[in-house]
Amino acid sequence: MYVAVKGGEQAIAAAHRLLAHTRRGDRQVPSLTLAQIAEQLSLAVDRVMAEGSLYDRDLAALAVKQARGDLIEAIFLLRAYRTTLPRFGFSHPVETATMRVRRRISATFKDLPGGQCLGPTFDYTHRLLDPLLAGDPDLPDPARRDETTGAMPRVTDLLNDEGLIEPDPAEADVPVGDLTREPLSFPADRDLRLQALARGDEGFLLALGYSTQRGYGRTHPFVGEIRLGEVEVEIDVPELGFSVAIGRITVTECQMVTQFKGSAKVPPAFTRGYGLVFGHQERKAMAMSLVDRALRAGELGEDRVAPAQDEEFVLSHADNVQSTGFVEHLKLPHYVDFQAELDLIRRMRAEIAALQEAAE
C-alpha cells in the first residue's frame, strides 16, 4: 500500500546538493571532460549505450559522468532520456557481412578467408597492472601492415556451403516485435528475445551463459566467429523515395556454433546461437549468443530443464533498469506497510501467548 507522506523536501534538496559535491570529488583535481570519458573509458560508454539501448556516445559519456561511474545508474539515465524523443522510424538491418572489421577471430577454423585479426584485445595480455599508466606515457603508433584484407565472409556462411550448419532463419512476412512498444508476453519469439538480450544486463547474461557451460542446459558451444567493427546505418526517407546511409555505428557480433540437431529425415547439422551488441562488448556478445541458443530449446525439441532455457525467467530478469527499480524501491519509505506487518505479528504472538497460557 502506498500512502502519500509529506516532508523531507529540505533534506532531499540538501542531499542532492551534497551528491553533486561528492560526485565532483576533490576540486583540486581537474573535472573530467566528456571527450576524456568517451575516448579513454570507451568500454564503459559502450556498455551504457548497449544496455541503455541508445547509441549516442556523447550522451552515454555524460551519463557515466553524472552517475559517478555507476553504470546501471548511467543506463537508467539514458533510458529516461530516450523517452523524451520522437521515434522517426527504423533502419534497414545492419549488414555485418560487410562490416569494416577491426577484429575478427574464430575458435573453430584456423585458416579463414580474410584471416584472423586480433585487433585491440585484452586477450593474451598478462593482466598485470601497469604502473606507467599512473602517468601518461608516450605510446608508439600502432603497427601497420599494408595489404588488402579482402572480403571477410562470416564463418557461418562458409559452413553453410556444406550444409553442416543450420542456415539463418528465413525472412518471414511478419512484423518485427518491439518490446519498447508492447510489453513482453510469453511465449516470446526470437526477435523479441534477441532485442531483450541485446539490452540485457551483461552480468546476468554472463552468469546464465556460464551456467549452460557448467551443465545447466549444456549446448557444447564453440565460438564460430567474433567480429568487431563499424556497420552502416541506412534508413528509408519517405519524402525522398529512397534510402540513405546516415553514418556508421560500432557493433560486436558473436556466432556461437553448438551441438547438432537432426532426425531420421534431416541429417544432423550444427545449431547456432547469435549475439549482436552496440559497441565493443565482446563478453556480452558471447554471453548473449549462449543464452540465445539456450532459449531455443523449445524450437529445437530439447527439454527445458535449466534456468537459461526458461524464457520467462530469463527475459523477465535480464533488464537491469527494471531489476534495480524493483530492488531499490525497497529502500523508499514503507512505513505504513511495515506498521501493518507489525500489528499482524503482535497479534499472532499475542494469540500464541494466550494459547500457551490456557494450556498451562
Partner 1 sequence: MSMAMDPPGETDARRAALAVLARMSRAQLADAWTGLADKPDVYEMRAPETGLVMVRGRMGGGGRPFNLGETTVTRCTVKLGDGTIGTGHVLGRDRVQARLVAVFDALWQRPDTRPLVEAAVIAPARRRLAEDDAAVEAETAATRVDFFTLVRGDD
Selected binder of partner 1 within 223, 276, 294, 297 (CB under 8 A): 276
CA proximity to 277, closest of 114, 59, 47: 47
Task: Give min distance, CB of 27 to partner 1, in A.
Answer: 29
Selected binder of partner 1 within 45, 48, 192, 297 (CB under 8 A): 192
User: Do 278 and 49 contact (CB within 8 A), yes or no?
Assistant: yes
Task: Give min distance, CB of 131 to partner 1, in A.
Answer: 25
Task: CB nearer to partner 1: give 79 or 283.
Answer: 79
Judged by CB under 8 A, which stretch of 8-16, 19-27, 250-258, 311-319 contacts partner 1?
A: 250-258
Selected binder of partner 1 within 47, 103, 280, 284 (CB under 8 A): 103
Task: Give min distance, CB of 340 to partner 1, in A.
Answer: 42
Selected binder of partner 1 within 9, 161, 239, 360 (CB under 8 A): 239
Q: Could you tell me where the DSSP H helices lie in 114-246? A: 155-160, 190-198, 202-213
Q: Cell 549468443 appears where?
A: 289
Q: Quick check: 281 binds partner 1 (CB under 8 A)?
A: no
107-118: b or e for each residue (b if 16 or more CB lie within 10 Å)? ebeeebeeeebe
Judged by CB under 8 A, which stretch of 18-26, 30-38, 172-180, 317-325 contacts partner 1?
A: 172-180
Q: Quick check: 285 binds partner 1 (CB under 8 A)?
A: no
List residues bridging with 336 in a β-sheet. Answer: none
Judged by CB under 8 A, which stretch of 61-69, 201-209, 210-218, 236-244 contacts partner 1?
A: 236-244
Rounded Cα distance, 279 and 56, in Å: 10
Task: Give min distance, CB of 207 to partner 1, in A.
Answer: 22
Judged by CB under 8 A, which stretch of 128-136, 241-249, 305-313, 333-341 contacts partner 1?
A: 241-249
Q: How many residues bind partner 1 (CB under 8 A)?
A: 83
User: Do 228 and 103 contact (CB within 8 A), yes or no?
Assistant: yes
Q: Quick check: 56 binds partner 1 (CB under 8 A)?
A: yes
Q: Quick check: 304 binds partner 1 (CB under 8 A)?
A: no
Task: CB nearer to partner 1: give 129 or 240.
Answer: 240
Judged by CB under 8 A, which stretch of 35-43, 166-174, 327-335, 352-360 contacts partner 1?
A: 166-174
Rounded Cα distance, 84 and 160, in Å: 44
Q: Quick check: 241 binds partner 1 (CB under 8 A)?
A: yes
Q: Quick check: 113 binds partner 1 (CB under 8 A)?
A: no
Rounded Cα distance, 205 and 319, in Å: 10
In terms of C-beta distances under 8 Å and separation of at least 24 residues, what long-range contacts does 112-118 make, across chains too? Answer: 112/152, 112/155, 112/158, 113/150, 113/151, 113/152, 113/153, 113/158, 114/149, 114/150, 114/151, 114/152, 114/153, 115/149, 117/149
User: Do 322 and 74 contact (CB within 8 A), yes or no?
Assistant: no
Selected binder of partner 1 within 38, 45, 59, 205 (CB under 8 A): 59
Q: Quick check: 85 binds partner 1 (CB under 8 A)?
A: yes
Q: Quick check: 270 binds partner 1 (CB under 8 A)?
A: no
User: Do 52 and 82 contact (CB within 8 A), yes or no?
Assistant: yes
Name the grid cell of 50: 548497449
**Contact code string over 194-233 relative to partner 1, x by CB under 8 A:** xx--xx--------------------------------xx
Task: CB nearer to partner 1: give 35 or 97.
Answer: 97
Q: Quick check: 298 binds partner 1 (CB under 8 A)?
A: no
List residues bridging with 236 in a β-sheet. Answer: 243
User: Do 275 and 254 contact (CB within 8 A), yes or no?
Assistant: yes
